[in-house]
Structure 1
Amino acid sequence: MVINVAFKVRGIGLSSFFGAMLAVSATAQIRVEDPKKTAERSVEGRVNSRIDQGINKGLDKVEEGIGNIFKKKNKGEKDQKTKGKTTKDNDEQQQEDSNDAQVNETSSSKASSTKANSQGGAAAAKDEPKSMKAYSKFDFVPGEKIVATEDFSQDAVGDFPAKWNTNASGEVVTMEGAKFLQFAKSGVYYPEFVKELPENFTMEFDMLASEDLSVNMSGLKVFFPEFKERKLTFDQNFNSSAQAGIDIHPTADGESSTSSVWVFDKNSEKVVENTNRLAWKTNVANRVSIWKQKTRLRIYVNETKIWDLPKAFDSSLKYSMLFATSIFEGTVYLANLRVAVGAPDTRSKLITEGKFSTTGILFDVNSDKIKPESYGVLKELGTVLKENATVKVRIIGHTDADGEDAKNLDLSKRRAASVKNALQTEFGIEAARMETDGKGESQPVAPNTTAEGKANNRRVEFVKL
Structure 2
Amino acid sequence: MKTVMFFIFLITAQCTIQAQSVIDKLGKKVERKAKQRADRKTDRAIDKGLDEVENVFNGKRKKSSSDKNEKLENEPAQGSGQTSGFAASSKYDFVPGNKVIAVEDFMQDAVGDFPAKWNTNATGEIMTVNGDDGHWLAFTGKGAFTPDFINDIPENATIEFDLNVSPSYNYYNDALFICIAESRSKNDFTNWMHFGRPTLSGIRLELHPQDAGSQALGKTAISIYEKGKLTMTNKTNAVAAFNRNKHKVHIAMWRQKQRLRIYVGETKLWDLPQAFVPGSHYNKLVFCTRQSKAGEYFFISNIRVAIGDPDTRHKLLTEGRFSTSGIYFNTGSASIRSESHGILKEIAQIMKEHEDLKLQIIGHTDNSGNPNANQTLSEHRAASVKKYLNDSFGINNNRLTTAGKGSSQPIADNRSTEGKAQNRRVEFVKQ
Q: What is the TM-score when the length of structure 2 is the normalising length?
A: 0.74
1:117 aligns to what? none
Query: For residues 348 and 246 of structure 2, what CA distance do their matches in structure 1 show?
Result: 33
Contact 2:202/2:226 (CA < 8 Å) preserved in 1? Answer: yes
**Residues 129 and 158 (structure 1), Cα distance of their counterparts in 2 relative to 1, 3 Å cut:** farther
Alignment of 1:264 with 2:218, yes or no, is no
1:89 aligns to what? none
Alignment of 1:141 with 2:125, yes or no, is no
Query: Letter of the aligned partner of 1:382 in structure 2?
Result: A
Alignment of 1:231 with 2:188, yes or no, is yes
**Pairwise mapping of residues 191-206 of structure 1 onto structure 2 (< 5 A)?**
191-206=147-162
Query: For residues 111 and 385 of structure 2, what CA distance do their matches in structure 1 show?
Result: 36
Query: For residues 178 and 432 of structure 1, what CA distance do their matches in structure 2 show?
Result: 38
Contact 1:136/1:375 (CA < 8 Å) preserved in 2? Answer: no
Contact 2:321/2:427 (CA < 8 Å) preserved in 1? Answer: yes
Query: For residues 274 and 251 of structure 1, what CA distance do their matches in structure 2 show?
Result: 14
**Pairwise mapping of residues 28-427 of structure 1 onto structure 2 (< 5 A)?**
130=84, 132-175=86-129, 176=131, 177-216=133-172, 218-228=174-184, 231-236=188-193, 237-240=195-198, 241-251=200-210, 255-266=216-227, 268-279=229-240, 280=242, 282=245, 285-319=248-282, 320-329=284-293, 330-427=296-393
**Residues 129 and 206 (structure 1), Cα distance of their counterparts in 2 relative to 1, 3 Å cut:** farther
Query: For residues 235 and 201 of structure 2, what CA distance do their matches in structure 1 show?
Result: 17
**Alpha-carbon offset, residue 217 of structure 1:** 5.6
Note the alpha carbon deviations across 1:45-81, whole angstroms, 9 max, x for none. Answer: xxxxxxxxxxxxxxxxxxxxxxxxxxxxxxxxxxxxx
DSSP-derived class of the 2:87 partner: helix
**Alpha-carbon offset, residue 283 of structure 1:** 6.3
Query: For residues 364 and 238 of structure 1, what CA distance do their matches in structure 2 show?
Result: 38
Note the alpha carbon deviations across 1:302-339, whole angstroms, 9 max, x for none. Answer: 11111111111112211122111112323111111111
Which segments of 5 or more consecutive residues in structure 2 lack a partner in the other structure? 1-77
- Alignment RMSD: 2.2
The size of the alignment, in residue pairs, is: 339
Note the alpha carbon deviations across 1:81-105, whole angstroms, 9 max, x for none. Answer: xxxxxxxxxxxxxxxxxxxxxxxxx
Note the alpha carbon deviations across 1:394-434, whole angstroms, 9 max, x for none. Answer: 11000010111111111111111111121122112222222
Structure with larger Rg: 2
DSSP-derived class of the 1:368 partner: coil
**Residues 239 and 134 (structure 1), Cα distance of their counterparts in 2 relative to 1, 3 Å cut:** farther
1:75 aligns to what? none
**Alpha-carbon offset, residue 184 of structure 1:** 2.4
Contact 1:218/1:247 (CA < 8 Å) preserved in 2? Answer: no
Query: For residues 352 and 254 of structure 1, what CA distance do their matches in structure 2 show?
Result: 51
Note the alpha carbon deviations across 1:204-224, whole angstroms, 9 max, x for none. Answer: 111111133232363221111
**Alpha-carbon offset, residue 187 of structure 1:** 0.5
Which aligned runs of 4 or more in structure 1 are off by greater than 6 angstroms? none
Contact 1:346/1:381 (CA < 8 Å) preserved in 2? Answer: no
Query: Letter of the aligned partner of 1:234 in structure 2?
Result: N
DSSP-derived class of the 2:191 partner: coil
Query: For residues 348 and 360 of structure 1, what CA distance do their matches in structure 2 show?
Result: 15
Query: For residues 167 and 228 of structure 2, what CA distance do their matches in structure 1 show?
Result: 40
**Residues 408 and 424 (structure 1), Cα distance of their counterparts in 2 relative to 1, 3 Å cut:** same
Query: For residues 105 and 366 of structure 2, what CA distance do their matches in structure 1 show?
Result: 16
Contact 1:148/1:340 (CA < 8 Å) preserved in 2? Answer: yes
Which segments of 5 or more consecutive residues in structure 1 lack a partner in the other structure? 1-123
2:61 aligns to what? none
**Alpha-carbon offset, residue 365 of structure 1:** 2.4
Query: For residues 176 and 86 of structure 2, what CA distance do their matches in structure 1 show?
Result: 27
**Alpha-carbon offset, residue 385 of structure 1:** 1.2
DSSP-derived class of the 1:155 partner: coil
**Residues 245 and 235 (structure 1), Cα distance of their counterparts in 2 relative to 1, 3 Å cut:** closer
Query: Letter of the aligned partner of 1:172 in structure 2?
Result: I
**Residues 189 and 316 (structure 1), Cα distance of their counterparts in 2 relative to 1, 3 Å cut:** same
